[in-house]
Amino acid sequence: MARDIDSMPQSYEYDVLIIGSGAAGLAVALNLPEHLRVCVVSKADISSGATLWAQGGIAAVLDDTDSVENHIQDTLNAGGGLCHEDAVRFTVEHSKESIEWLIESGVEFTRQDDGADYHLTREGGHSHRRIIHAADATGHAVSTTLASQAAARPNIDLKSGRVAVDLITNRKLALPGNRCVGAYILNLEDNHVELFRARFTVIATGGSSKAYRYTTNPDGASGDGIAMAWRAGCRVANMEFNQFHPTCLYHPHAKSFLITEAVRGEGGVLKLPDGSRFMDRFDKRAELAPRDIVARAIDHEMKRLGADHLYLDISHKPADFIKHHFPTIYEKCLGFGIDITKEPIPVVPAAHYTCGGIVSDERARTDINQLYVVGEAAFTGLHGANRMASNSLLECLVYGRAAAADITRRESDIPAPPAAPDWDESQVRDSDEDVVISHNWDELRHFMWDYVGIVRTTKRLQRAKHRVDLLSREIGEFYSNYRVTNDLIELRNLVTVADLIICSALQRKESRGLHYTLDYPGLLNDPQDTVLVPTTYRTLSP
């Protein structure tokens, strides 16, 4: 039976298609000239990505006692010898102007009590106070402000309730050249796949921490952009470096609520169930050690004691100080019956940030022409083996603005995208096996947590590789025969990124930064990035 014409999938054409609406994607959109037709698509509400939940703040050189060189050195130290110094310098040197752009855009950062200067906090790995913030809800302030600015721009279309299925390239269309010309995107409202053609496409989809059982990330962090780019022919790098946030709130109803590192930066101490401190036994910086050290220490003590969680205590500070600096955390914990001004916070490590991603350059360009990547989905070389606290939002801003600048320079030279076929749904059917998707999702996240977590072994990784290969075949068959859904798309992408993580981890024969394996506890003398090359990879050409 023919479908009603109103239910047929839509087709769109834009100058720039941006997949993802966090700080990175919106930074691109808002820095493009207003004569370009821009579309920003997001899975849920425009302000529903990982940016919204970022608590701590944004690292930048804003104080006279600090310097660009200090910030660079701290980042290099945290990165475990794998940071690309040119990328670190590029990011840090553009930090102040990026913050100024946010302020000009209307983001209201917290000021000192006298109102004269902005309040700067300090987090693990930083030698100076350089974290500008909006209380303990910086991401919320940035996300809502930029979304409001984008909504007011007549040249920017904001389309929510859409999840990208796959990129469209010249290769997929059997045309010459190595170019991205848009994407197929599922409209979650009517469950039809829409065609989005564009002269430029930007991946700003965030990371892949939903591959793990415990995570601080929102539900959409399923590695969609990384998986799509890999299938399209982009290299990925350093996927073994998954950052586990040391302190996620441990409560059966809290889901994914992290306790910002700024709590430790302002004097919070980690404690065992008996109330004793332990971090000084693992690092001379104690609670201010980088995240990987703190996460491993907590994981070690939990396993040693057989404990479900440990504690983070800032109750020794004045109650007014806590409520002023951490109002969101105070209210959230109070809602679960925990008064952080009087008692410690139960915490557990959780998957938090994907340090690797799609290989890109200082202009955010990937291995495919007219395809850019910004934010957590990208591998810029900034983070190395371990992301330093509050450098992530800075990376979103700096590279988002760099991508916009490059598109602006090149837009007059790039022709309209070629014609592309609508998504073919004629050979598939609706699935009545949703339980299979749910089961596979649970299995994936459990074995990733058990075998590819904070501490790894070769045997565990090999077991994970065996399981992910079986799941890949099963899901591939499912994807070929049934109509796509959000859950199926995300599961397909999570299996892809899980495989990339496992393969990367198996290649690294050392313990460095966030990758810690009992089989290779030492460091190699000449560390290299782990770069995976897809069979569809082509050397970039004009």
Query: Quick check: 203 pLDDT over 60?
Result: yes
Tens digit of pLDDT for each residue in 301-357?
988 998 989 999 999 999 999 999 999 999 999 999 999 999 999 999 999 899 999
Classify 402 as helix, strand or coil: helix
What residue ranges define each of the domains in the chain, with the CATH number in brackets?
Answer: 11-240+355-411 (3.50.50.60), 246-349 (3.90.700.10), 433-521 (1.20.58.100)
Question: Which of 87-101, 123-137, 329-343 bottoms out in mean pLDDT, i.e. has the lowest?
Answer: 123-137
User: Can you read off the two tokens belonging to residue 200?
Assistant: 């430029």
Mean pLDDT of 476-482: 85
Mean pLDDT of 433-461: 90
**Which string of DSSP letters, residue by residue, matches 258-298?**
B--THHHHTT-EEE-TTS-B-GGGT-TTGGGS-HHHHHHHH
pTM of the model as a whole:
0.90
Which pLDDT score is estimated for 261?
84
Which pLDDT score is estimated for 7?
55
Query: Quick check: 269 pLDDT over 90?
Result: yes
Mean pLDDT of 11-16: 97
429 is catalytic: no
Classify 103 as helix, strand or coil: helix
Query: Quick check: 541 pLDDT over 90?
Result: no
Which residue in 41, 464, 44, 394 sits closest to 225, CA to CA? 41
Rounded to whole angstroms, the Cα distance separating 105 from 101 reads: 6
Mean pLDDT of 281-286: 95
Which pLDDT score is estimated for 45?
77
Mean pLDDT of 401-418: 97
Which residue in 512, 536, 518 sits closest to 81, CA to CA? 512
**Which string of DSSP letters, residue by residue, matches 471-533?**
HHHHHHHHHHHB---HHHHHHHHHHHHHHHHHHHHHH--S-BTTB-BTT--S--SS----EE-
User: Can you read off the two tokens belonging to residue 153?
Assistant: 């721009």
Measured over the CA atoms of residue 122, residue 70, residue 392 and residue 465, the dihedral's sign is: negative
Catalytic residue among 291, 365, 401, 492: 291
**Which string of DSSP letters, residue by residue, matches 354-390?**
E--EEE--TT-B-SSBTEEE-GGGEE-SSSTTSPPTT
